[in-house]
Chains A and B, each alone.
Chain A
Amino acid sequence: MISSRFLVLLFIAVGKALSMQGRSFTGADTLLPTWWPSLTFSVSEVGCYEPLGKNRLVLGARGELASDALPLAFTYALVSNKFIDDPLKEVAQKQLLAHNRAVFTYRLHVGGHWPVRRWLFQRPACVGLALEQFNSLATRFSRDAFVTIFYGNAHQAGRWVVYDNTSYLHYRGHRLSLSARQQLNKSEHLLEWGAAMHLSAVQQATALLLHQGSLYTEPNGLFLDASYRFHYTGNASSSRRPLPVAWAGSLDLFGALTLQTTGSWAFFLNDLGLLYWNKGATHYEADSTIHFTGIEVQQIFSPDDSSFFLPYSIDTLLKYLGARQRQAHQLRWIPATVALNWQKVLNDRWRMIVGMVYRFYPDRLPLVYLKPTRQFADIHVSGLMSVGGLAGYALGVDVCYRPETGPGFHLSCENLLPLGAPSTYGTTTVFLKFSWTLP
């Protein structure tokens, strides 16, 4: 909390200093307002008015719970560390597909951007600095994997269950972002481009890639047959650990072209980068089959302190799985996002935005959305309709109050359907941003 307050004061100070430069912008040297307010794409934010030529401080948050199979009631219980009872599991199981995907992310953001008079090509630019706390979890899993994990293998006795292509990536930490964007303002068009660099200090990062996995449970439990090929990377970190266990570096690229006749086209490429585990990371990999008939006990009358009925530990399990363990640094791509959007100003009050966005992991299909916006003075109200992505289809709403100067806010939800049916719909987002635009 102290550090956040310090950052706000820092941004105000930097902003005031930079605004002394930008106060004399005029004509071609002036940055025009834009409808693509952030270099990091989100359906909620596109189409919201952003005066680039002014100093702004921003405090925002975005969270997402999304799954193409798991209902929100289930995933919410999961991420809020509740006890998952059988009715909740049944609700989820009914909607399972052969392969399922889920995402849970949140991001807390504090930052600001300021115009500078001369930058690249001796042209004005808007530079930004932001600090974020983030948590990102994405997974793909088979129906059998869900049943095994949440119900146990007793329900699957007597048949082979398959876990192929089950994967998992979770990392969380803090991210420092530097961004810059410029405009080429011609009479017939406005060309915008921008880039952002992110450096993340990761407090926890685990990744599982189960390329192939199957399990057979003998109906009386006399043996387990398993076949698997997996890679797992993790660490034993905690939030109390002072040093990061991994680092991440990524780029955001943005380009937009606004034509007076056809509207505005924008392209986003976000989170193009790598996650790097340092040497303390533990890496397990195995490509094997086992026939497990129980742990061999040499001295049944002199058992150790472990529980008789459950003498397993993670180490014991990995030993029986024949996993090779090594400790070395690891590198992995961060799931990137690509988005393409088109916006057309219909009249003084209405605008229309159409776009497509795709996360390379774990989305099954691109999300195609339609976002009509009605402007009431400084208030912009949008509806959101989308198909694809993890939601299948979604209906959302977006309210943005963005005056020329002074405080503003932005509240958005990309899918309101779970409000009425949390046991049916599995995807929603919440976006909340407060901003302060200096004169």
Chain B
Amino acid sequence: MRGFCAACSLWLGLGLLVLVSCQRFPEDQPSWDMQLLAPLLKTRLTIQDLLADSLLQINDDQSLSLVYRRNVYQAKLSDLALQVPDTLLRSVFSLNNINLSNQTLVYPYSLGAMCAQLGVLGLIIIGNQGQYFTIPPLMGLSVPENLIDASLFFESAQIKSGFIDITLENGLPLAWNQIVFEIRNFSDQQVVVRDTFVDLSPFEKQTQSVDLSGKYVEGLLVARIIDMSSPGGTVLVDTADAMVLTLQVRDLSVYSATAIFPSQDLIREERQITYRITGGAELSQLQVRSGLLQLRLTSSVDQQLRVTFEMPSAVGPQGQSIAIQVVLPAAPAGGTVSYSRSIDLSNYSFDLTGAHGDQHNTLRSLLVVRMDSTGQLTTVAASDSVAVEYELLDLQPAYVRGYLGQQIATFGPEEIEWNFLPSIRGGHIAFDQVSISVRIANGLGAPLRFRLYELLSINSQQGQTLGLSWDLMGKPLDVGPATESPYQVSQASYQLNPWNSNVAAFVSHIPDKVRYRMDVFLNPFGNSNHYADFAVDTAGLTFGLDAEVLLSLSASDLILIDTLEFSPARPPDPHSAFVRSGVFTLHVDNGFPLQAALQLYFCSPDFQIVDSLFTSLQMIAAASVDASCKVTATQSSQLTASISEQKMQRLWGTEKTIVRVILQTTASDLCPQVKLYEDYGLDLRLTGSFTYYTGN
């Protein structure tokens, strides 16, 4: 009855299928489970696969050595002494050299004018015009004040230095015993000049110079003859005859003046700046990789100025020099005007030997501030100034030459990774032949001296440390300077071997880190190169350790652990095929003289172990060796993993796999150590007998 009902439903279903469900076919598919038995993967692992190729070295007898090169310390030019500090130079130039132009004023003083100021005697003399007249001796005559107007040249000036030349030409036929002459400012009545001419014969000319330093002079002056005396005599009276007073001001330099100034250089100054570079470096040449010159000019002068700034010792990449010419407008009253500009100093070269080529670290600069004559009255004072600021910023040297100085740099204690055997996490290993070279490369054109004070092997997994003992520990390790033409780095190597160190124990300690402490002494012998040291920024110095280990070893319970971004099973997509469960067998033909216990742990993304591959200890047997400890035949092993459906589903959530291998050399008196050769390998074949769901 049950079969009949089933058949009826089947028959009806078939009809409905025909009528209704035809569109489903064949996008959907039936599904079932299959028991598959098949080889899945095969591979051969050699020691090259287990270790990076670059670490391995094949020896003449095809044995393998592990070579590990690690730079412990590296430095470049900028890391060392040769750092050019940022420099800000600010110079304020006062107007200490304001000049006024030379000027000459001529004042004729006729006899007629003179008589008009002499009273009765004057009238008598005038009355004898054209006649000989005997003039009596004259004593204590004075002439009233006469204005001298120099305001066309200046209104006032506080004289810093300068002279006035007073020339008195006696155009009268009368001799004079003495003439006392005075010039005063018109406004403040200060006496500018008082001088005396004596024994002035007829038609004689006398000149006297008066120093005006420190005097205040106005443009409108008052001249006056204070005292005149003459012996008298008979003379032909001609009232047109005159005494001619000539005033010539010259070499006037003023503290301040309101004047029509001539064109002149207010400031012309060349300066040299000497750097102080740490370590006492004395450089004669500096090529700049990068850097900036920041220039800023500030003027308080009420006059347009032409400013020229030059750095004669700098040459640009195209051979150009640094020369900036700028016109600064007149400053407002009581204010200043400014100008700023940046110049990229990349690839500029500086001659640091100064103006005469006998200095170091010295930069030259020239500033010229020029004032043009405007024909207008202008007030300029010595308190006005032009300030120049220039700043050298972020100078990165590309090349320096000279004496690099003497200094000692200390490095460490510092820990660095030491991935010599990165996967080993435990156990014991003993290497037969181990050597380490201390490698020093000096790219500087100056001698160096290293001292290694401490090198500590750190095995983080076991929490153990082991210090390196070495005959040269703390002793000088010298390396000469690099050569410049052609450029060649200087190399030095110091060998650590079992006779001068505990290097074998150091490496067998399987460090994952090392800690070092050392110092570097630049120019330990002083300026032995006589200013011929050099350095380029692309070169530096390197302190490295090169370890070379012959893969001849004995190992006991050596634990190797590695982590793979790998999951053995992915959660299947809906309707897709997947493996339900199965028994997977790893067929191993071991060509290494090492036996291994293998386990794989499958982990969640956060490394939580979800499951393991093997439920029992699975061993890979070691290959057989002959009397010479070389492998004669591979050894076969089978590692079987049974994965149930539940276990497979657990593996769906894993994303990482931890591989854990425990290695062991087979203990033998004949072969306490086994050597690994290039042709050794591990042949792996994975087969599966598994239930496969076809999907639908």
Contacts and interface: CB of A to CB of B under 8 A. Distances in A.
Interface string A254-273: 00000000000000000000
A-B pairs, top 4 by smallest CB distance, nearest first, are A152-B34, A63-B18, A294-B39, A221-B687
A309 B688 contact: yes
Interface stretch (A29-37, A278-286, A380-388, A422-430): A422-430
A419 B569 contact: no
B35 A133 contact: no
B40 A77 contact: no
Interface in A43-76: 61-63, 65, 72-73, 76
B32 interface: yes
A292 B39 contact: yes
A311 interface: yes
Given A76-B13, A297-B41, A84 B30 contact: yes
Contacts, number: 185
Interface in B221-277: none
B38 interface: yes
B11 A81 contact: no
A294 B41 CA distance: 4
Nearest to B690: A309
B4 to A, nearest CB: 6
Interface residues of B, number: 61
Contact of A295 (B32, B40, B688, B689): B40
Contacts of B37: 152-154, 157, 217, 221
A106 B18 contact: yes
Interface string B640-676: 0000000000000000000000000000000000000
A61 B40 contact: no
A160 interface: no
Contact of B17 (A80, A133, A421): A80
B35 A296 contact: no
A239 B689 CA distance: 36
A78 B30 contact: yes
A301 interface: yes
Interface string A166-179: 00001010000000
B29 A81 contact: yes
A381 to B, nearest CB: 19
27 contacts: A62-B18, A63-B15, A63-B18, A73-B6, A78-B30, A81-B28, A81-B696, A153-B36, A154-B36, A154-B37, A157-B37, A222-B685, A222-B687, A293-B42, A293-B685, A294-B686, A294-B687, A296-B43, A297-B43, A300-B43, A300-B49, A303-B564, A307-B569, A307-B570, A308-B41, A310-B578, A419-B7
A223 B39 contact: yes
B25 interface: yes
A158 B39 CA distance: 14
A239 B24 CA distance: 9
A422 B689 contact: no
A307 B564 CA distance: 14
A303 to B, nearest CB: 5
A142 interface: no
Interface of B: 3-4, 6-8, 10-11, 13-15, 17-19, 21-43, 45, 49, 562, 564, 566-570, 577-579, 582, 584-585, 587, 684-690, 692, 696
Given A81-B25, A83-B32, A420-B3, 8 more contacts: A62-B18, A73-B6, A76-B13, A76-B14, A81-B30, A85-B32, A89-B32, A151-B34
Given A72-B10, A154-B37, A418-B11, A297 B18 contact: no
B39 A172 contact: no
B31 A84 contact: yes
Nearest to B566: A303
Contact of A430 (B18, B42, B585): B18
Interface string A284-325: 000000001111111011010101111100000000000000
B586 to A, nearest CB: 11
Contacts of B562: 301
A233 to B, nearest CB: 16
A172 B11 contact: no
B43 A428 contact: no
Given A80-B17, A418-B7, A423-B3, A239 B23 contact: yes
